Amino acid sequence: MFRIRRLAWTTLLLATSLSVTGCAVPARVGVDYCEHARPVYFDDVSQVDATPAPVRRQIRDGNALWHKLCGGPPS
């Protein structure tokens, strides 16, 4: 008897949780890259010198990608 009651309770809990997640609003699909991405610029030379080379390389590559996809002016 205890097993059946526990199984029924677990099934009810599982069914409720699955039905609630089915009503969740889906994530927005198709967000344009150019709507939220922006190139990164340094304010002065000291910031460039203080930034590690791998990070500068990632910034350069990210800026190049933004310019290629979004048609921004070359930096």
Tokens of 55: 């990070």
Which of 39, 37, 34, 50 lies closest to 74 in space, CA to CA? 39
C-beta separation of 66 from 32 below 8 A: no
Taking the chain (75 residues) in consecutive chunks of 10 residues, what is each chunk's mean pLDDT?
Answer: 80 74 63 83 94 96 92 63
What local confidence, expressed as pLDDT, does residue 55 receive? Answer: 97
What local confidence, expressed as pLDDT, does residue 29 receive? Answer: 64
What local confidence, expressed as pLDDT, does residue 5 receive? Answer: 83
What local confidence, expressed as pLDDT, does residue 54 receive? Answer: 97
What local confidence, expressed as pLDDT, does residue 2 receive? Answer: 74
